[in-house]
A and B are shown apart, each in its own frame.
Chain A
Amino acid sequence: MIENRPFVTFLAHLTVITGILIVAFPIWITFVAASHDAIRMTQVPIPLWPGDQFLINMKQALTQGLGGAGGPPVWLMLTNSLITAMMIAVGKIIISLLSAYAIVYFKFPFRMGFFWMIFITLMLPVEVRILPTFKVVADLNLLDSYWGMTLPLIASATATFMFRQVFLTIPDELLEAARIDGAGPMRFFWDILIPMSRTNIAALFVILFIYGWNQYLWPLLITTDPNLYTVTIGIKQMLNSAELTPEWNVIMMTALLAMVPPVFVVLSMQKMFVKGLTETDK
């Protein structure tokens, strides 16, 4: 505290609390809507205070999904989201650890060429090349499969860059010592580099998990089989059917269930999350 100005401090608290209320209001409305029955959710004005149907709605969403729409139950969609998010996060971390290791610790032909090839992928999000990438996936017979939903998203440079940065800060003496003790390249990688970059791996995992969980356009194009729908696709399908039979209580319950895993990851690993965010993007 630099000076004591009670009024300014009060103003600061007031602004931040107002900000929080505005930011959180949509979530509150979602929670309220998820705790009333379907009939109450068709009466104007909709309630602002939670009802008593929360667990019943949760059970219906998880086991049946939206009644009339015939979509898959939400637990299946959550499982699909979890599988794809884990595949994307773990896949990205593994391939970028390996390639960053090769680029920093080995001298081999085309080293810089490979580096630039990876670097360029930093620039192009999947959204700008959807059509040809879709064609490639179709030609490889990967439509309607977890691999088709994840592999094209695994190709990215950010993680490789971060690990390269981390490896460059590790002192040379460690490698010299490991060599004197007779460790080969893979031994050095497993026993020294991986343990030393543990916190960075965790930070990156948080970011990539959220990235994978929130994917929408790509899984939407790749899947036609409802059993492979992720929860982001499921929400969209429910919104479509909301035009005819609004069951907002179930839709909002699904939205709530879809938010829980990534929000939980962010809040429980907040320090890692902030570290991952500020270090991968810069």
Chain B
Amino acid sequence: MLKRVHFNTKLLPFLLVAPQIIITLVFFFWPASQALFQSLRIEDAFGLSSQFVWFDNFKELIADPNYLEAFSRTAEFSILVAAIAMLSALLLAAMADRIVKGALAYRTMLIWPYAIAPVIAGALWVFMFDPTLGIFVYALDALGIDWNYKLNGGQAMTLVILAAAWKQIAYNFLFFVAAMQSIPKSLIEAAAIDGAGPWRRFWTIVLPLISPTTFFLLVVNVVYAFFDTFGIIDSMTQGGPASNTEILVYKVYYDGFVGLDLGSSAAQSVILMAIVIALTVVQFRYIERKVDY
């Protein structure tokens, strides 16, 4: 941690950490503790009076079918986003790994959706699937499929999942490619000499060896689907129709800023915090015992 050779100046190190510590205290520790405190209270909508209620907000949430539904909806959403984004990225990476000529050009063409803001991604997909104008709606119509994501909850969910996964493919692709390139060529060559074809080599050598990356990406993708998709949801469906795409982070925002139910929103924040902390701990414990090739 500390360098063997270091300075012993008294005041300077405090000045150096001060900016970060002050920002962390003011915008992180203080609000986080407020959220904890707030989650144990109920307040009327005008903020005139508030009351300490212990864990009533949490009990209410657990008993609330809407919240439980949002919970399972979020689980479904994040699993599907992670699965689609990772599987398509894995396929593309495995194929790109074979390519020698033009590999860099291919990579360049695949990575840029990463740079697009979730809201903008949402706008593009809304436009493509707009019930009256969308190009895909026109195509689906020709196939006899009636598409209106503004009315049909299942279609709305499909659409936000596709948009969220589309944006994440680039990220996963980069990590898979990097992991595959770090596998020693001699291993692959030895297997090829022993007569293993590309498919066999992928299953028995490549896939097991990139499993740490796969696990890391799984956590990252789930965290992405949980939190970073707010912009996608807000620009495409606003949680609708009839709450069919309301995931947890959207509900925190909606209950807090639109519904003004501060206690419940804070309790939801605390639950989300617990989920993130659990995911981070899992990820760190796993990375600690990272596999070396």
Interface residues of A (CB under 8 A from B): 1-3, 5, 8-9, 11-13, 15-17, 19-20, 23-24, 26-27, 29-30, 33, 41-42, 44-46, 48, 94-96, 98-99, 101-108, 111-112, 114-115, 117-118, 121-125, 127-133, 135-137, 140, 151-152, 154-155, 160, 167-168, 172, 175-176, 179, 185-186, 210, 213-214, 216-217, 221, 232, 235-236, 239, 246, 248, 251-252, 255, 258-259, 262-263, 265-267, 270, 273-274, 277-278, 281-282
Given contacts A15-B92, A117-B21, A155-B28, 10 further A-B contacts (CB under 8 A): A9-B98, A26-B166, A128-B273, A131-B38, A154-B23, A216-B118, A217-B231, A248-B127, A262-B116, A274-B174
The reply on B57 being an interface residue by CB < 8 A is no
- Check A172–B133 contact: CB distance below 8 A: no
Which parts of B241-268 form the interface with A (CB within 8 Å)?
Answer: 249, 252-253, 256-257, 262, 265-266
In the bound complex, CA of A186 to CA of B11 (Å): 13
Interface string of B169-207 (1 = CB under 8 A from A): 111001100100000010011001000001000000000
Q: Given contacts A3-B192, A131-B35, A217-B253, is CB(A155)–CB(B230) below 8 Å?
A: no
The reply on B126 being an interface residue by CB < 8 A is yes
Q: Which segment, of B60-68, B73-81, B106-114, B153-161, faces chain A?
A: B106-114
Closest 6 pairs between A and B when the two form their complex, measured CB to CB: A132-B31, A214-B117, A102-B16, A106-B13, A132-B34, A262-B115
The reply on B148 being an interface residue by CB < 8 A is no
What are 5 A-B pairs with beta-carbon distances under 8 A? A17-B106, A23-B110, A104-B1, A123-B277, A235-B235
- Check B111–A266 contact: CB distance below 8 A: yes
- Chain A residues contacting B198 (CB-CB under 8 Å) are 5, 8
- Check B127–A130 contact: CB distance below 8 A: no
- Check B27–A136 contact: CB distance below 8 A: yes
In the bound complex, CA of A8 to CA of B198 (Å): 8
CB distance from B70 to the nearest CB of A (A): 15
The reply on B40 being an interface residue by CB < 8 A is no
Which parts of B204-227 form the interface with A (CB within 8 Å)?
Answer: 216, 220, 223, 227
- Check B23–A151 contact: CB distance below 8 A: yes
In chain B, what residue has the closest Cβ to A128?
B272
Which of B12, B116, B235 touches A236 (beta carbons < 8 Å)?
B235
- Check B116–A131 contact: CB distance below 8 A: no
CB distance from A86 to the nearest CB of B (A): 16
Q: Given contacts A129-B273, A132-B266, A214-B117, is CB(A29)–CB(B124) below 8 Å?
A: yes
- Chain A residues contacting B8 (CB-CB under 8 Å) are 106-107
Q: Given contacts A108-B13, A155-B20, is CB(A258)–CB(B109) below 8 Å?
A: no
- Check B117–A24 contact: CB distance below 8 A: no
CB distance from B120 to the nearest CB of A (A): 5
- Check B6–A106 contact: CB distance below 8 A: yes
In chain A, what residue has the closest Cβ to B260?
A131
CB distance from B49 to the nearest CB of A (A): 17
- Check A235–B19 contact: CB distance below 8 A: no
- Check A185–B7 contact: CB distance below 8 A: yes
Which parts of B1-17 form the interface with A (CB within 8 Å)?
Answer: 1-10, 12-14, 16-17
- Chain A residues contacting B174 (CB-CB under 8 Å) are 274, 277-278
Which parts of B111-167 form the interface with A (CB within 8 Å)?
Answer: 111-121, 123-128, 132-135, 138, 166
- Check B115–A129 contact: CB distance below 8 A: no
Q: Given contacts A3-B192, A217-B230, A239-B235, is CB(A118)–CB(B20) below 8 Å?
A: yes
Q: Given contacts A2-B192, A216-B234, A236-B119, is CB(A131)–CB(B262) below 8 Å?
A: yes
CB distance from B267 to the nearest CB of A (A): 11
- Check B91–A15 contact: CB distance below 8 A: yes
CB distance from B23 to the nearest CB of A (A): 4
